[in-house]
Copies of this chain bind each other. A is one copy, B any other.
Amino acid sequence: MAMNDSPSATPTAPRPRVFTAALIVIGDEILSGRTHDKNIAQVAIWLGVQGIRLREVRVVADDTAAIVEAVNALRARNDYLFTTGGIGPTHDDITVDAVAEALGVAVEVHPEARTILEGYYATRGGLTEARLRMARMPQGSSLIPNRYSGAPGIRWNNIFLMAGVPNITAGMLDGLSGTLEGGQPLLSETVGCWVAESEIAELLRTTEKAHEGCQIGSYPFFREGKTGANFVIRSVDAALLATCTQALVAGLVAAGRDPVPGGI
């Protein structure tokens, strides 16, 4: 993605560079419903802290063609690509080979990963052929530390192959914290209200429209026998965000509603 220059002729500040990422969740167990995915949310939140926006996610089966298609579609249009799942020692772990195929590079045993696995399994029955599979990586990879279970994650340029087990994924994200270039984090404020969103839809629309650079999302719920909604205002600009939030709160008060700053 190229730097965004301001299209305007007036001397406004250039629009900040937005960094984006995509995530591919790999695994039949998610598509069967057996396993409830926990990685989308944790990767999304972690990326937000890095100043990177998660722009799209695909969940694909343990199927080489499906992985190759997703990798090539998503890496072409995002700054970063993450995958979770399929990097273990068993026959259904095909992520490494599929990603290498997508990249057009060979798979080879990474010497440093081999050393790590030799150390980890020294007291656990030794480095068998199956375990050595976890040192196989696309040519040109570097390692993402795994503090829990020996086998490292894999970095290949701006592509990151991580484990599928959520606490191991979390450890790998931790190891990457602060190492990726991001932009301004997307800030948010939440305002809750015991109101049907349909009753104040016009207020939401006009408030968003009057505050360029802010987006307002409306998230309805039904709790304690009552209808309510949380309105999430997002912006990279803290001052704009505050102004838009105040305008929304004032609008709700003017409409006879009782807004709850911070959300319900």
Binding site for B on A (CB under 8 A): 25, 28-38, 40-45, 47-48, 53-62, 66, 88-92, 124-125, 128-131, 133-134, 148-149, 165, 186, 188, 196-199, 201-202, 204-205, 208, 215-222, 232, 234
User: When A149-B222, A165-B221 are in contact, do A125 and B33 touch as well, CB less than 8 Å?
Assistant: no
Supplied contacts A57-B57, A89-B198, A92-B217, 20 more A-B pairs, CB within 8 Å: A25-B57, A28-B217, A28-B234, A30-B57, A31-B44, A32-B54, A33-B42, A33-B44, A33-B47, A33-B54, A56-B59, A56-B60, A58-B59, A59-B59, A88-B220, A89-B201, A90-B197, A91-B216, A130-B202, A165-B222
Q: Give every chain B residue within 8 A of A234 (Cβ-Cβ).
A: 28, 32
Q: In the complex, what's the smallest C-beta–C-beta distance from A87 to chain B, in angstroms?
A: 12
Q: In the complex, what's the smallest C-beta–C-beta distance from A186 to chain B, in angstroms?
A: 7
* Cβ–Cβ contact A59 & B32, under 8 A: no
Q: Give every chain B residue within 8 A of A34 (Cβ-Cβ).
A: 188, 219, 232
Q: Give every chain B residue within 8 A of A92 (Cβ-Cβ).
A: 204, 215-218
Q: How distant is the Cα of A197 from the Cα of B128 in the complex, in angstroms?
A: 12
Q: Give every chain B residue within 8 A of A62 (Cβ-Cβ).
A: 217
Task: Find the B residue at minimum CB distance from A73.
Answer: B73
Q: Give every chain B residue within 8 A of A58 (Cβ-Cβ).
A: 56-59
Task: Find the B residue at minimum CB distance from A60.
Answer: B56
20 CB < 8 A contacts A-B: A28-B215, A28-B217, A31-B54, A31-B55, A31-B57, A32-B186, A32-B188, A32-B234, A33-B42, A33-B48, A34-B188, A37-B41, A55-B61, A56-B58, A58-B58, A90-B204, A91-B201, A92-B216, A129-B202, A148-B222
* Cβ–Cβ contact B201 & A130, under 8 A: yes
Interface residue from B31, B42, B89, B197 paired with A197 (Cβ < 8 Å): B89
Task: Find the B residue at minimum CB distance from A199.
Answer: B125
Q: How distant is the Cα of A54 from the Cα of B234 in the complex, in angstroms?
A: 33
User: When A37-B37, A41-B37 are in contact, do A59 and B57 touch as well, CB less than 8 Å?
Assistant: yes
